[in-house]
Amino acid sequence: MIGLTLSLNYLESDRVYHKHLQRLAYSQIKVELGVGIEKLLFPSPLNLLIIYIVNTV
């Protein structure tokens, strides 16, 4: 009985941990998307120069 309870507790904590990891992954994706959108909306002069060179060659 004790073994069963322990394994159930372990499964529960494992599930919570996975949810936490998932949330971390989602927030990381959001940050990267935000940075990408920011670069599209407010490109740095260097990025503009690279885009210009690539388009003219």
Q: What is the pLDDT of residues 28-40, one digit of tens each?
A: 777 777 777 776 6
Give tens-digit pLDDT for 3-56: 555 555 666 667 777 777 777 777 777 777 777 777 667 667 777 777 787 887
Distance of alpha carbon 12 from alpha carbon 6, whole angstroms? 10
Phi/psi-derived region of residue 43, left when phi > 0, alpha when psi is between -120 and 50, beta in every other case: beta
Cα 47 to the chain's mean position, in Å?
A: 23
Percentage of residues in the chain having pLDDT higher than 90: 0
Percentage of residues in the chain having pLDDT higher than 70: 65
